[in-house]
Amino acid sequence: MIQRINFIEKNPFILNYRKMVVFGGGLFGLVLLIYGMQFFRAVRIEKKVAALTAEVTRLKAEQERRLKEMTDTSGTFAGAQAALVQFFEDPMSWSVLLGELTSQTPTSLWLTSFKSYEKADLPSKRGMTLTGRAEDASAVTFFVKSLSDSPYFERVVLTDLKQETGAKGESYQFTIDLALTSQKREKEGKA
């Protein structure tokens, strides 16, 4: 004879001490876990605040030091004023330089990157490194010659030239190092 199996609980849920202890212990463990997480989070935030406070203090001290360097012995801001005047009178006109760079670039040559850097031994104290690709070596040679003839660039040196063979044929990867001329020299050269 076949008996039916009833999966539904015949007795309703009965609350007893064992179930209350298990539920209370689980709830206590959950609250303890949340408290521990918040405690460690607060400790981490306190350390971060202390580090940021120390950084702010260091930056304020550096600001005061630089401000003292800029003031002269009479207490005026002549040094700071001179630095600002020099900054605004002799800027590097990047739009003009990039326009010149674009006009000197042959059609079979592509610039992949350029990086500007400061260098103390240059007259304008600014240099630039250009990297790119060309279909042939003559385009690179023409580009270096055009940059050398430009009044905006000086000390143009081809530092690296590699021939590469790819799916589209041969190409040349190059690196050019050059110095930017200062605005004063540009103005003197035009006058």
42 within some domain? yes
Are 107 and 172 in a shared domain?
yes
Domain at 148, CATH number: 3.30.70.2830
Q: Could you give the CA distance from residue 86 to residue 40 in angstroms, rounded to a whole number?
A: 52
Q: Which token pair is 85?
A: 């005047």
Instruction: Give the structural domain span for 175.
Output: 92-190
In whole angstroms, how far apart are CA 187 and each of 58, 183, 191?
Answer: 42, 6, 6
Residue 46: is its pLDDT beyond 60? yes
pTM of the prediction? 0.49
Are 38 and 125 in a shared domain?
no
Question: Final residue of a domain: which of 89, 108, 125?
Answer: 89
Looking at residue 164, what is its pLDDT? 87
Burial code (b: 16+ CB inside 10 Å, e: under 16) for 116-126 equals eeeeeebebeb
Q: Which token pair is 57?
A: 């203090």
Residue 35: band (very low, low, confident or very high) from pLDDT cuts 50, 70, 90: very high
Instruction: Find the range with the poorest average confidence among 1-10, 17-26, 52-61, 69-78.
Output: 69-78
